[in-house]
Amino acid sequence: MEDLGFIVLVGVIAVIVVIAVSCIQIVPQAHSYVIERLGAYQETWSVGLHFKVPFLDRIARRVNLKEQVADFEPQPVITRDNVTMQIDTIIFYQITDAKLYAYGVENPIVAIKNLTATTLRNIVGDLELDETLTSRETINARMRAELDVATDPWGIKVNRVELKNIIPPRDIQEAMEKQMRAEREKREQILRAEGEKKSAVLIAEGKKEAAILNAEADNRAAVLKADAEKQKKILEAEGEAAAILKVQQATADGIKAIKDAGADQAVLTIKSLEAFAAAADGQATKIIIPSEIQGIAGTVQALAEVVK
């Protein structure tokens, strides 16, 4: 009997230990536990060590507080100009209140999916096809704002919404491809025309600059030639002047020598006339003789006739 009582005691102690250990809970980082007591909400456990009352408390829901991603399949959407297209979205959300998340809606992810589809239809229904294709950022911002307000009572915060793919009908895609091809060909022709225009302008500018340079070279050559002719004439004039000066100097020296030798006025006059005659042999075409010398010359000629 004593052995049986010991075994029962050990079993009871083991059960108590197991129950006590099971009542010890550690909540990891970025998680929350929703605790119910007798089926009613009791409290929310945050990160750390916690104890629950055995047989009364239970963990109703373990909530992940990290940012999560929900990728929804394409949804058919009709634009304002009656074009049906397929659009799939990605939602980045985060649970901010574990209690609201546990008791706010039965299936939060399904609710967000349906809400995303209806919100997307409402937004795209007010846009035309071209606006839908070029207004992704606007659609993303409007969807995020509306979903964030709608999911706030569920303890969910929508951080970001992205349109993953926008798939228009096949005929629209073909028309868009043709339009894009035409635009590319148009840009190619424009670029080619601009290149040819720039080339022609550069060629014309090159010819213009070459003509200007040639004209400047011709002008410089003419100026140099004129300077050379001018210098030549100056040198010739200086040479002639120097020659005349030398002749006159020699004549003056001769007259001086004759005078020093005691020659009379008649001899001096004759030597002066000879000097003028020598000057006349040069390039001069006209010689002006003073009247005094002309009178002396006439007197000399009269005396010569008397002597004969």
**What is the pLDDT, as a whole number, of residue 279?**
52
Higher pLDDT, 214 or 288: 214
Q: In this structure, are residues 93 and 70 in contact, taking their beta carbons and an 8 Å threshold?
A: yes
**What is the pLDDT, as a whole number, of residue 96?**
93
pLDDT in tens, 224-257: 888 888 888 888 888 777 877 777 777 677 667 6
**What is the pLDDT, as a whole number, of residue 84?**
87
**What is the pLDDT, as a whole number, of residue 7?**
78
- Given the structure tokens 């000066």, which residue do they identify? 245
Taking residues 102-120, what's their average pLDDT? 90
Q: In this structure, are residues 84 and 124 in contact, taking their beta carbons and an 8 Å threshold?
A: no
Q: In this structure, are residues 272 and 285 in contact, taking their beta carbons and an 8 Å threshold?
A: no
Q: Does the pLDDT at position 288 exceed 70?
A: no
Residue 121 CB: number of other CB atoms within 10 A? 14
Residue 40 CB: number of other CB atoms within 10 A? 7
Q: Taking all residues of the chain, what is their mean pLDDT, rounded to a whole number? A: 81
Q: What is the CA angle 115-120-123, rounded to 5?
A: 125
**What is the pLDDT, as a whole number, of residue 284?**
47
Q: In this structure, are residues 59 and 35 in contact, taking their beta carbons and an 8 Å threshold?
A: yes
Q: Does the pLDDT at position 263 exceed 60?
A: no
Q: Does the pLDDT at position 2 exceed 80?
A: no
CA terminus-to-terminus distance, the chain: 208
Q: Does the pLDDT at position 302 exceed 50?
A: no
Q: Does the pLDDT at position 122 exceed 80?
A: yes
Q: In this structure, are residues 139 and 132 in contact, taking their beta carbons and an 8 Å threshold?
A: yes
Q: Name the 3-class secondary structure at 166.
A: strand
Q: Does the pLDDT at position 196 exceed 90?
A: no
Taking residues 106-132, what's their average pLDDT? 89
Helix (H) / strand (E) containing 240 = helix 170-260
Q: Does the pLDDT at position 105 exceed 80?
A: yes
Q: Does the pLDDT at position 300 exceed 50?
A: no
Using pLDDT thresholds of 50, 70 and 90, give the confidence band for residue 129: confident
Using pLDDT thresholds of 50, 70 and 90, give the confidence band for residue 173: confident
Domain 68-168 coded CATH 3.30.479.30 = yes
Higher pLDDT, 22 or 298: 22
Higher pLDDT, 125 or 278: 125
Q: By mean pLDDT, which of 57-66, 83-92, 135-144, 182-191 is the weakest?
A: 182-191
Q: Name the 3-class secondary structure at 97.
A: coil
pLDDT in tens, 19-62: 888 888 899 999 999 999 988 999 999 999 999 888 888 999 99
Q: Does the pLDDT at position 140 exceed 70?
A: yes
Map out the domains of the chain as residue ranges.
Answer: 22-64, 68-168, 178-246, 264-307
Q: What is the bridge-based pairing of β-strands 75-78 and 84-95?
A: antiparallel
Q: By mean pLDDT, which of 14-28, 69-83, 272-286 is the weakest?
A: 272-286
